[in-house]
């Protein structure tokens, strides 16, 4: 709805942005900074590595519940969310971590190469939440439109599954048995 409105009437962007609560822009700034921090190679502790997918899954679930929690379709939307997340997780978690990824067991930290993907995913979740929020504010009956609700639930699940798969690939790297020490030469 919002996307169609803006394509047909680009002048509607101003009023939509003006009516956006201030806290949304604060959240956008924090998420943007978080995403940009992922662009460069960095060392990440095990706890911090687990926090990103947890936070993004929380944002995704918040979007689902806040949009469709009162809808008679809520149970179906959650099932679609779970199915999409599980399908993507199952597909992507088996892949190898990106080249340059390493785990230091002594420090319990990962070296993670920089990537634009986390920023893109963070912005995709934010924009999905924003568009769904505006759509439902303009047409609340969309919460009961199965095509709309299930599509939004699938999108949220897809993004959560990608984040979870990225974390699972790192955890799999950390769970590998340590390489055996090289044999000592006979002295």
Per-residue confidence (pLDDT) for residue 89, from 0 to 100: 94
Per-residue confidence (pLDDT) for residue 187, from 0 to 100: 41
To the question of pTM greater than 0.75 for the whole model, the response is: yes
Per-residue confidence (pLDDT) for residue 136, from 0 to 100: 92
Would you give the distance in Å from CA 128 to the centre of its chain?
11
Per-residue confidence (pLDDT) for residue 144, from 0 to 100: 93
Task: Please tell me the distance from the alpha carbon of residue 2 to that of residue 115, in angstroms, as a whole number.
Answer: 30
Place of tokens 């993507």: 88
Q: For residue 89, which of 28, 161, 17 has the smallest C-alpha distance?
A: 161
Length of the chain: 187
Q: What is the pLDDT along the chain (187 residues), one digit of tens a residue?
A: 667 766 766 777 888 888 899 999 999 999 999 999 999 999 998 888 888 888 888 888 888 999 999 999 999 999 999 999 999 999 999 998 889 999 998 888 999 999 999 899 899 989 998 999 999 988 999 999 999 999 999 999 999 999 899 889 988 888 876 554 444 333 4
Per-residue confidence (pLDDT) for residue 12, from 0 to 100: 76
């Amino acid at each position: 709805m919002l996307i169609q409105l803006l394509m047909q009437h680009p002048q509607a962007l101003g009023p939509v942005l003006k009516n956006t609560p201030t806290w949304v822009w604060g959240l956008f700034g924090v998420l943007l900074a978080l995403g940009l921090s992922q662009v460069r190679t960095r060392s990440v502790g095990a706890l911090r590595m687990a926090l990103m997918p947890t936070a993004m899954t929380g944002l995704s679930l918040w979007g689902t519940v806040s949009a469709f929690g009162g809808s008679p379709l809520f149970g179906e939307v959650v099932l679609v969310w779970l199915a999409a997340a599980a399908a993507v997780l199952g597909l992507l978690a088996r892949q190898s971590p990106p080249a340059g990824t390493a785990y230091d067991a002594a420090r319990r930290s990962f070296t993670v190469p920089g990537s634009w993907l986390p920023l893109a995913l963070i912005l995709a979740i934010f924009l999905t939440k924003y568009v769904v929020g505006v759509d439902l504010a303009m047409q609340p009956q969309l919460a009961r439109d199965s095509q709309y609700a299930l599509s939004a639930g699938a999108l949220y699940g897809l993004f959560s599954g990608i984040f979870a798969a990225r974390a699972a690939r790192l955890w799999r790297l950390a769970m590998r048995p340590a390489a055996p020490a090289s044999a000592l030469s006979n002295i």
